[in-house]
Amino acid sequence: MNLIDLGWTEFFEKEFESFNGRGFKPLRIIREHKELYMLAGESGEYRGEITGKFRFEAKSRADFPAVGDWVVATPFENEAKAIIHAVLPRKSCFSRQAVLSGGQPETGGKTDEQVLASNIDTVLIVNGLDNDYSLRRMERYLSAAWDSGANPVIVLNKADICENIEAKIAEVEAITYDTPIHAMSAEKQSGLEQLDQYMVRGNTIVLLGSSGVGKSTIINQLLGEQRLKTQEIRQSDSKGRHTTTHRELVVLPEGGIVIDTPGMRLFKVWDGDEGLSHTFGDILELMSQCRFSDCKHRSEPGCAVKAALEEGILDQRRYDSYLKLQKEQNFLENRKNEAVFRKQQRDLGKYYKKILNEQNELRKKKLR
Ligand code: GDP
Ligand code: ZN
């Protein structure tokens, strides 16, 4: 396999430069389970482990390799094993806050952010065009995708059971601006070809969405054949090495790379269709009782929020999740405004171009 098929780009080439020439090879993490890794590179697949130095120097869980990462490794071809020395900087990544309770012994209790998948180019945000359809949730997934550094694409699945697709698309367009939108039915195998443009050589995709929207169905359509193919190859290579392991990063025969990890499956966004005011009505009520109308709820005198927190009337975690959600919403608002601004600039650009062209035409006519 060629590294480019696996998603290798100039970005990583540059990052790898300083490691070049000491027997190091770039390998991509295709599976991770309890610090045991499977990696893929030019000459095949390897089982990998990090060095003691790596573990010692890791400051947080986010420093550990994740599926999708490119790492600097020393491969031992005969044993199909590799030692991982470093993780190359990530182009993009999805992470979650790891559980803090007790801490993981292997990281000496230094648990915090955990990377679920990295170096993703395209995020397919999958929604079902059925009862489960929610614009608010879609906004949250969009925000998460933008946050990750990857490009979002909206997939409206189950088009077969939707009667007003056009109206739904218009609704979605209003909140997503320039994000591409594709309506399809994975089950009826119609419209899937719209995804071909993302299934191109070296492009890494991941699917996001609530459970039941059809992610597995789509992935199976994309990989169905590939899974079978890899199994055949494995059986005939007769070396019998890890034949049953299931990859969480798969290269499609036609090009394109799909990441499907348990962590990404469970990746959830706040499902606040009711909006902030509904869910956090009590907090908004408290805020209205602060002495100053522009209270920032930090150290202002007469702050009702601070008082409620101190007295334990308002749960700190609940307040934190309110702040987090609010930040997310502001972020989304900004991203939306940015998108609108860019579109306006483009439209303006087109407009000026048109005027310039007209003026040029006029001038030419006058010269004639
Ligand atoms: P996941 O939880 O997102 O992986 O969703 P699944 O792929 O498991 O699909 C959930 C259910 O939706 C299954 O019963 C699928 O058969 C069904 N489903 C998936 N795609 C479609 C579709 O395009 N149309 C309809 N009507 N049902 C679908
Ligand atoms: Zn206040």
Question: What are the average pLDDT values for consecutive 10-residue runs of the chain, which has 368 residues?
Answer: 94 94 93 92 95 91 95 94 96 74 43 84 94 81 83 95 92 84 94 94 94 89 60 44 65 91 78 54 85 90 93 85 77 68 70 76 79
Task: Evaluate whether 67 touches 249 at the Cβ level (below 8 Å).
Answer: yes
Name the phi and psi angles at 309, rounded to 5: -65, -45
CA distance 105 to 188: 47
Tokens standing for residue 367: 């010269």
Angle between helices 165-176 and 135-148 (to 10 degrees): 40
**Local structure of 9: helix, strand or coil:** coil
Determine the distance from the C-alpha atom of residue 307 to the mean position of all C-alpha atoms in its chain, rounded to a whole number.
38
| pLDDT reported for residue 321 | 77
Q: Give, as one character, the DSSP assignment of residue 39.
A: E
Token output for 280: 């956090």
Cα separation, 190 vs 33, whole angstroms: 35
Among 268, 257, 267, 262, residue whose Cα is nearest residue 246: 262
Q: So what's the pLDDT on residue 281? A: 73
Contact 7, 257 (CB under 8 A): yes
Atom of ligand 1 nearest to the CA of 217: 7
20/18 Cα distance (integer angstroms): 6
Task: Quote the pLDDT of residue 190.
Answer: 93
| C-beta separation of 211 from 222 below 8 A | no
pLDDT digits (tens, 9 = 90+) for 19-57: 988 889 999 999 998 889 999 999 999 999 999 999 999
| Residue 25 near ligand 1, beta carbon < 6 Å | no
Which residues partner with 324 through β-bridges? none
Structural contact between residues 297 and 326, judged by C-beta atoms closer than 8 angstroms: no
Residue with the two structure tokens 């590294």: 3
Closest among 320, 328, 322 to 280, alpha carbons compared: 322
CA of 212 to the centre of ligand 1 (A): 6
Q: What are the structure tokens assigned to 252, written together? A: 């499609």
Q: What's the pLDDT at 279?
A: 61
DSSP 247: P
124 closest CA partner among 195, 26, 203:
195
Q: What is the pLDDT of residue 302?
A: 93
213 lines ligand 1 (CB under 6 A): yes
Instruction: Please give the distance, rounded to the nearest whole angstrom, from the Cα atom of residue 288 to the centre of ligand 2.
Output: 8
* Residues whose CB is less than 8 angstroms from the CB of residue 188 and which lie 6 or more positions away in sequence, other chains included: 160
Locate 43 and state its tokens.
């000459």
Q: What percent of the chain has pLDDT over 70?
A: 83
In the prediction, which pLDDT does 39 show?
97
pLDDT at 283 (0 to 100): 84
Ligand nearest to the CA of 210: 1
Which of 187, 190, 192 has most ligand 1 atoms within 8 Å of its beta carbon, as the pocket-test mutant?
A: 187
What's phi and psi for 351, nearest 5 deg? -60, -45
Q: What is the CA radius of gyration of the chain?
A: 25
Contact at 8 Å (CB) between 147 and 327?
no
Contact 185, 156 (CB under 8 A): no
Amino acid at 149: G
Could you say which ligand is closest to the alpha carbon of residue 291? Answer: 2
CB 128 less than 6 A from any atom of ligand 1: no
